Amino acid sequence: MNRSRSSWDKKAPHPAVTRITRSSSSQVRHPTEAQDSALAPYGKQRKKQADSALAQDLSLMSVSGQDILPSSKGKSSKYSRKPTQVGESSGSRSATKSVSRRSLASVARLVKLGRCKNVVVVAGAGISTASGIPDFRTPGTGLYANLEKYNIPYPEAIFNIDYFSNDPQPFFSLAKALYPGSHRPNYIHYFIRMLHHKGLLLRMYTQNIDGLEKLCGIPDDKLVEAHGSFSTASCHLCYTPYPAEEAKHAIMNDNIPICTFCAATVKPDVVFFGEDLPQKYFLHAEDFPKADLLIIMGTSLQIEPFSSLVNTVRSTVPRLLLNRHAVGPFEKVPLRRGDHMELGDLEDTVRRFAEMLGWNDEIKELMRSQETGHISTLINSPLSGMLDPPSITETSRAGQTGNSGSEETDSETDSKSSASSNLSN
């Protein structure tokens, strides 16, 4: 991973095109048309690549309204670190709900007609709340609302590379609750896996570090973990690789892993604010121009540059937002022609979408086979005697979520119970 702490220094030289740092800002955005940014190589191809048949379908089925694209004035690919709260008026909410009624059916029809063969999925923490993992920004139950005990100046500081350099203990304390292994993929993850099974998934771009996408069977070549993962570790200063299991063992035992080369602190390769994104992230330069459907789910679209990716598909490409609230370009009313959204509980929405596509039974069978295999592996493992029987039962129950009607499908309920248990460690 090509990372440099100098990316956090406001006086540092302008970064190269292939070096973009993670930042949190709702006020600074990539240029929507990407004409003046690192995405410029395909910015002028949009009009030339319009699919007339797809455009005709969209004109018949999409929500009425003129194309509305955010204006673009900035030309820099470097972003300031200014966490902000997202506000939404009641008028905006009622308007956005009224235009989303037939969105799922419209997009499902496009897929069934064979119009969408290169689907790109952009996902955030909301897809994992049904697995018992809290998201970041839900008031009261999100991760950022439960960090008071770490005595940090502001919530996002716990993922700030400069703050980590001075005091790694807050992150390591939180990491004990975040490390993968305690949670299983849910119906939403397996829906995305089914997109791959049907040969429709071009790529999935995820902000999540929980590893559930890989765990449900999405191949590595179809997955971009834009904010890194716990699967590898390295020195935060000299980037010398460090055995991931040794780092985990140290952190779980309240020790700080130390680099054997420079004696600086080692951390999992989770991308902090101020660090460069992994090289694989730049696949977007070839993926988004190819996409013929963009599905956005479970994200607040608050982290740059990830959030601006949704603005880089061709103007004729349908974009479907599956979320609890309208975010990013979907907050504008009327929506851009070809934009669709369905607001509400994400797991319930994805299940209805799968039913429209005729995939629900296949997804439930996939979950049964995958999760049953996982339970068998646990029971037959040499370490099975160390496993607590209730934990096996809970894992089995997580694998059967696709079989129940509405039990525990509210992500806010899941987030609340998980936040109280995981963050109390």
Q: What would the pLDDT profile of 156-208 be if each residue is shown by its tens digit?
A: 888 899 999 999 988 998 888 788 888 899 999 999 999 999 999 999 999 99
Residue whose tokens read 């089995």: 396
Strands 201-206 and 339-343: unpaired
Intra-chain end-to-end CA distance of the chain, in Å:
31
- CA pair distance 288, 381, nearest whole angstrom: 42
Q: Which amino acid belongs to residue 143?
A: L
Half-sphere exposure of 285 (CA within 13 A, CB side): 12
- Residue ranges covered by each domain of the chain: 5-227+271-422
**pLDDT over 90 (residue 363):** yes
**Strand (E) or helix (H) holding 422:** helix 411-422
Instruction: Return the closest-CA partner of residue 67 out of 98, 37, 32.
Output: 32
Specify the pLDDT at position 134.
Answer: 74
**Strand (E) or helix (H) holding 269:** strand 266-270
Higher pLDDT, 363 or 151: 363
Instruction: Return the closest-CA partner of residue 150 out of 414, 417, 421, 425.
Output: 425
The structure tokens listed for 220 are: 């590595």
Higher pLDDT, 34 or 213: 213
Residues 6+ apart with CB under 8 A from 93: 325, 326
Instruction: Note whether 276 and 3 are within 8 A (CB).
Output: yes
**pLDDT over 90 (residue 49):** no
Specify the pLDDT at position 176.
Answer: 84
- For 5-227+271-422, give the CATH class: alpha beta
E strand intervals along 53-183? 119-123
The structure tokens listed for 263 are: 């004696």
Catalytic residue from among 227, 236, 284, 340: 227
Q: Which of 138-152, 286-300, 377-391 has the highest mean pLDDT?
A: 286-300
Strands 23-24 and 303-304: antiparallel
In this prediction, residue 142 has a pLDDT band, given cuts at 50, 70 and 90, of low
- CA pair distance 3, 20, nearest whole angstrom: 9
**pLDDT over 60 (residue 288):** yes
Residues 6+ apart with CB under 8 A from 120: 202, 203, 204, 205, 287, 288, 291, 293, 294, 295, 313
Residue 404 DSSP one-character state: S
Specify the pLDDT at position 133.
Answer: 85
Other CB atoms within 10 Å distance of the CB of residue 195? 23
Residue whose tokens read 């370490």: 383
In this prediction, residue 137 has a pLDDT band, given cuts at 50, 70 and 90, of low
Is 227 labeled as catalytic in the residue annotation? yes
Q: Which amino acid belongs to residue 55?
A: A
**Helix 187-197 and helix 360-380: axis angle, to 10°?**
110
Specify the pLDDT at position 151.
Answer: 78
Instruction: Note whether 173 and 204 are within 8 A (CB).
Output: no
Q: Mean per-residue pLDDT for 104-113?
A: 95
Higher pLDDT, 102 or 180: 180
- CA pair distance 422, 425, nearest whole angstrom: 6
Higher pLDDT, 133 or 127: 127
Residue 226 DSSP one-character state: T
| Residue 95 CB burial class (10 angstroms; 0-12, 13-18, ≥19) | middle
Q: What angle do CA 91, 188, 411 make, to 5 degrees?
A: 50
